[in-house]
A and B are shown apart, each in its own frame.
Chain A
C-alpha cells in the first residue's frame, strides 16, 4: 500500500512529537508510531472479526442456542462501553501519559477473552465474555487515538488517522475470511477459530508493546502543542479545556441525525429492492469504500482543513438519505449508496479525531478525544431510538426525510459553531 513507501526517514530526531521539526512538508510521511498502531489495529481487528463472524453460527449450529438474547443486551453493552471509554481516556492522561499502559490493558483484556470463549458453553457465560471484550475495546480506543495524535505532526494528523482507519478496516475485512478458511479446514472447528483468534490478538499486543513508544516523556523537549503546560501532574485533572466543547457539540449534533448502519442497509434493501441474500454483503460495500478513501480523505483534511472535510462527509451522508428517498430503481443505485456511505465514514471517523486533537493540550488529549467520541456515540444511540420510533409511527420514508432535514440543519449549525482554528498551527 502507498503508506509503506512514504514513511519517515530513519534519521528522524528523537522526539515524541515529530512536529518539533520545522518545515514539515505536506508530503511528510505517516510516522512509524502511527504505522505501528495501525498494524496493531489491523491485527486486532482480524482477531475480533474472526469471532464476530462465526459467533451466530457457533451459537445456533454448535451450541443449539439462538443469538437473539445478545441483540437485547447490545444497548446495555454500548452504554457501558461509553462510560469505560471516558474512564480509559482519563486514566491514560494521568501522570503525564499512560496511554500505552492503558492501551496494552485494553488490548490485552480483549485478547484474554478469546480463550474464555472456548470454555463458555452457555449464553450467560458468552454474554459475560463479550462484555469483557467490549470493556477492553472501550478502554483502549481513546488512548490509542491520543497516541496517534501525539505522534503525528499537526499538519499530517488527518492523514495519520486516515491511514490508521484504513488499516483497521482492512483487518475487519480479513477477519471473517480467516475464520471461514479455518472452519473449512477443520469442519466446525470453532475452538480452532477461537484459539487462532487468541494468537492473533496476542500478536497485536506484542507489536503494541514492542513498537509503540511508551509515555510521552517529560524530557527536555516538551511536546510543542502544549509548550506552556506546566508539569501535567500539577494540574487539576478533571477540568477539560474549553476547546473540547465545540468539537463535542458539533459531533453530537451531527450524531443526532446519523441514522445507524443497520437502518441504512434495511432501507436500502427494501426501497431499492436489493435481494435478501445480498443483505449480509452490504456492510462489506461500506467497509471497502471506507478502506479505500480513509487515507486520501485524511490527507485532504490536512490540506484544506479537517472541519470542511468532516462537514462534507456529512454531505455524503445527506446524499445517501437523498438516494434512499428516490424511487429510481437503477441497478447502480445500491453501489452509489454504499460508496457514499463509506465516503461518509472515511471523511468523518478519523478526521474528527484529527480535528478534535487541534486545540487539545497533550496532557489531556486522551480525555478530550474520549469526550468527543462518547458525545458522538450517545447522540447516535439517541438517533437510533428516535429514528426507530419515527419509522414505526410514520413509515421509513417519512422518518428518513426527517433525518435528512435534521442532518442539513445540524450541518448548518455545525458550520457556524465549528472551531475557527482549522489550521493546525493554532493548536494549544
Chain B
C-alpha cells in the first residue's frame, strides 16, 4: 500500500528512458504480483494451521484424557508438538514407552515451555493481545489447574521446578534493546510457590566470584536447576563474555561461581553431578555446544556421546541418563544419552519438547 505514496514520478527532474506511464504500469503490476504471493503465503500458512489440527498419518497418536502431576508410575510429560487437535498441549507417556501413544490434557493446557515436579507445574505461555503477544508464567497444581500467574518480560526459554515442588524458576530472553539489532539479554526469575514471593531477576543477588564480591552491569543469568534441600540451586552466570556455573543460596540471596564455561546446568537426582552444555573451542561460533557432565566434588568433566550441538537444558531421566531436545521436523524431538560418556544417543520421541519426569 505504501507504494501509492511515492513522490509523483512526473515530478522527477531527470530525463527518463521509459515514460512515467510505463513506470507506473510496472509498479502496479509488481504490487499486484507481490500482493498475490504474499496473500497466497498467508492463506497457505493459515490453511496449514488448520491442517495442523489434523493428526498426521504415521505421527504419534494423541488422545485426550486425564493428566496429573502427582508422582508415581514413572511418566514423561512434555509439550506435544505433533500435528493434530492437541498440538502444543501438554501430553504424557509412560517413561518406559516414550515413543508410544500420548495422552493430552482434557483441559487443553498449551505451553511454550514446561517443567513439573512433585505435584507442581510451571507453564510458560503466550497471551495473545490486540497488538502484540505477552508472556506469563502460570503455576499449575497437580490437576493442571492454575494457581497463580506472573508476567514474563520476554520470550520464555527455560523452566524448572524444585524436586519438592515448592520453588519454580524460569528464564526469558529480553529483546528490543537495540534498533534492528540481534542483541538479547536474559532474565532469570525464581518463585516461592508457598509464599508467592517472586524474585523477578537473579541480578539482585550478590555475586561471589573467585571468593570475592563481584559487581557487573552485564551479568546475565539463565537455566536455574534446584537442589533437593529447597535452599540451593545452580544456574548459568554470563559476564564479560564468559559463562560460569554458579551455586545459589535462596536464603542468603547469593550466587557463587564454581566452574567456567557451563551453560544450562541440570543437577543429577543424587545432587553430585551437573549435566550442561559446554561451548567447545573450534566449533562454529553459532553452534558451539556439546553436552558434558561435571562431577561437582572432583571438578572432572566428561563429554557425552552426543556429537551434535545441543541448545537445551537437559533433564535427568534417572541416575545414569539425560534427556534433551534437538531441532526436528515438527520443531523438536527428544533424545537420551548415557550420562557417563558411553553409548550412543537414542531418539525417545518425535515432535516433543520441554520434558519433565514424574
Which residues in A have some Cβ–Cβ distance to B below 8 Å? 4, 7-10, 12-16, 18, 31-36, 39, 42-43, 46, 48-49, 52, 55-57, 60-74, 76-77, 121-124, 126-127, 130, 151, 171-172, 176-177, 180, 182-189, 191-192, 195-196, 199-200, 202-203, 206-207, 210-211, 213-214, 217, 260-263, 265-266, 276-277, 279-283, 287, 388, 391-392, 395-396, 399
Cβ of B178 and Cβ of A262 under 8 Å apart?
yes
Q: How many Å from the CB of A53 to the closest CB on chain B? A: 9
Question: Is B7 at the interface (CB under 8 A from chain A)?
Answer: yes
- In residues 15-45 of chain B, which contact A (Cβ within 8 Å)? 15, 23, 26-27, 30-31, 34-35, 37-38, 41-42, 44-45
Known: A172-B179, A180-B131, A260-B178. A211 touches B153 (CB 8 A): no
Q: How many Å from the CB of B184 to the closest CB on chain A? A: 5
Q: How many Å from the CB of A282 to the closest CB on chain B? A: 8
Cβ of A203 and Cβ of B182 under 8 Å apart?
no
Docked pose: A388 CA to B133 CA in angstroms: 31
Q: How many Å from the CB of A251 to the closest CB on chain B? A: 18
List the B residue with the shortest CB-CB distance to A67: B184
| B285 / chain A contacts, CB cutoff of 8 Å | 69, 72-73, 76, 127
Known: A12-B13, A203-B30. A195 touches B331 (CB 8 A): no
Cβ of B286 and Cβ of A9 under 8 Å apart?
no
- In residues 138-172 of chain B, which contact A (Cβ within 8 Å)? 151, 153-157
| B42 / chain A contacts, CB cutoff of 8 Å | 182, 185-186, 189, 192, 196
| A61 / chain B contacts, CB cutoff of 8 Å | 112, 126, 155
Chain A residues touching B, majority SS: helix
Known: A60-B155, A70-B184, A391-B217. A211 touches B133 (CB 8 A): no
Docked pose: A399 CA to B215 CA in angstroms: 13
Cβ of A64 and Cβ of B286 under 8 Å apart?
no
Docked pose: A121 CA to B333 CA in angstroms: 14
Docked pose: A9 CA to B13 CA in angstroms: 10
Question: Is B336 at the interface (CB under 8 A from chain A)?
Answer: no
Question: Is B85 at the interface (CB under 8 A from chain A)?
Answer: no
Q: How many Å from the CB of A146 to the closest CB on chain B? A: 16
Question: Is B96 at the interface (CB under 8 A from chain A)?
Answer: no
Known: A124-B284, A279-B174. A34 touches B7 (CB 8 A): yes
Docked pose: A49 CA to B241 CA in angstroms: 27
Cβ of B7 and Cβ of A64 under 8 Å apart?
no
Cβ of A64 and Cβ of B45 under 8 Å apart?
no
Cβ of B46 and Cβ of A276 under 8 Å apart?
no
Docked pose: A282 CA to B154 CA in angstroms: 13
Cβ of B34 and Cβ of A202 under 8 Å apart?
yes
Q: How many Å from the CB of B233 to the closest CB on chain A? A: 19
Question: Is B216 at the interface (CB under 8 A from chain A)?
Answer: yes
Docked pose: A188 CA to B83 CA in angstroms: 13
Docked pose: A262 CA to B182 CA in angstroms: 12
Cβ of B177 and Cβ of A265 under 8 Å apart?
yes
Question: Is B227 at the interface (CB under 8 A from chain A)?
Answer: no
Question: Is B298 at the interface (CB under 8 A from chain A)?
Answer: no
| A185 / chain B contacts, CB cutoff of 8 Å | 42, 46
Cβ of B286 and Cβ of A127 under 8 Å apart?
yes
Known: A69-B286, A70-B286. A192 touches B41 (CB 8 A): yes
How many residues of B are in contact with the other chain, CB < 8 A?
82
Q: How many Å from the CB of A152 to the closest CB on chain B? A: 11
Docked pose: A71 CA to B12 CA in angstroms: 43
Known: A14-B13, A32-B7. A196 touches B38 (CB 8 A): yes
Docked pose: A391 CA to B112 CA in angstroms: 35
Question: Is B14 at the interface (CB under 8 A from chain A)?
Answer: yes
Beyond the given A33-B13, A64-B325, A276-B151, please list 10 additional residue pairs across the A-B interface where CB-CB is below 8 A: A10-B8, A36-B6, A65-B327, A67-B173, A123-B287, A186-B45, A192-B41, A203-B31, A207-B3, A282-B176
Question: Is B218 at the interface (CB under 8 A from chain A)?
Answer: yes
| A200 / chain B contacts, CB cutoff of 8 Å | 34, 38
Question: Is B175 at the interface (CB under 8 A from chain A)?
Answer: yes
Q: How many Å from the CB of B283 to the closest CB on chain A? A: 10
Docked pose: A27 CA to B10 CA in angstroms: 20
Q: Would you give the 0/1 interface string for B66-104, flagging 1 where the beta carbon is closer than 8 Å to chain A?
A: 000000000000000000000000000000000000000
List the A residue with the shortest CB-CB distance to B174: A279
Question: Is B132 at the interface (CB under 8 A from chain A)?
Answer: yes
Known: A69-B288, A261-B177. A396 touches B7 (CB 8 A): no
List the A residue with the shortest CB-CB distance to B263: A68
Cβ of A71 and Cβ of B10 under 8 Å apart?
no
Cβ of A199 and Cβ of B13 under 8 Å apart?
no
Docked pose: A130 CA to B285 CA in angstroms: 14
Chain B CB within 10 Å — which of A34, A72, A217 has the most? A72
Docked pose: A306 CA to B11 CA in angstroms: 27
Q: How many Å from the CB of B138 to the closest CB on chain A? A: 16
Docked pose: A52 CA to B177 CA in angstroms: 12
Cβ of A7 and Cβ of B8 under 8 Å apart?
yes
| B185 / chain A contacts, CB cutoff of 8 Å | 71, 262
Cβ of A280 and Cβ of B6 under 8 Å apart?
no
| A126 / chain B contacts, CB cutoff of 8 Å | 286
Question: Is B311 at the interface (CB under 8 A from chain A)?
Answer: yes
